[in-house]
Amino acid sequence: MSGSVSERTIVVTGAGGFIGGHLVNRLLHEGERRVRAVDRKPLEKWFQVHDGVDNRVADLTLREACTEVCEGAAQVYQLAADMGGMGFIETHKAECMLSVLINTHMLLAARDAGAERFFFSSSACVYKAERQSRPEVTALCESDAYPADPEDGYGWEKLFSERMCRHFREDYGLETRVARYHNVYGPLGTWHGGREKAPAAICRKAIEAQLSGELEIEIWGNGEQTRSFMYIDDCLEGTRRIADSAVLEPLNLGSSELVSINQLVSLVEEIAGVRLERFYAPDAPMGVAGRNSDNTQIRECFDWAPSVSLRDGLEKTYKWVHDEYMKRWGGRLGPREATPRRPGTTT
Residues with catalytic function:
154
Residue 103 and residue 120 in contact, taking contact as beta carbons nearer than 8 Å: yes
Contact partners, residue 162, CB within 8 Å, separation at least 6: 120, 122, 126, 178, 250
The interaxial angle of helices 198-212 and 261-272, nearest 10 deg, is: 50
Spatial distance between the Cα atoms of 213 and 317, rounded to a whole number of angstroms: 22
Task: Report in angstroms the alpha-carbon separations of 222 from 35, 213, 238.
Answer: 44, 24, 32
- b/e sequence 35-70, b meaning 16+ C-beta within 10 Å: bbbbbbeeeeebbbbeeebebbebebbeeebbbebb
Residue 255 phi, psi dihedral angles, 5° rounding: -75, 155
The interaxial angle of helices 232-243 and 18-29, nearest 10 deg, is: 70
Task: Report in angstroms the alpha-carbon separations of 273 from 21, 28, 53, 267, 318.
Answer: 30, 37, 40, 10, 12
Closest C-alpha among 235, 135, 243, 127 to residue 185: 235
Closest C-alpha among 304, 307, 320, 287 to residue 84: 287
Spatial distance between the Cα atoms of 115 and 298, rounded to a whole number of angstroms: 25
Residue 230 phi, psi dihedral angles, 5° rounding: -105, 125
Which class for 270: exposed (0-12), middle (13-18), buried (19 or more C-beta within 10 A)? middle
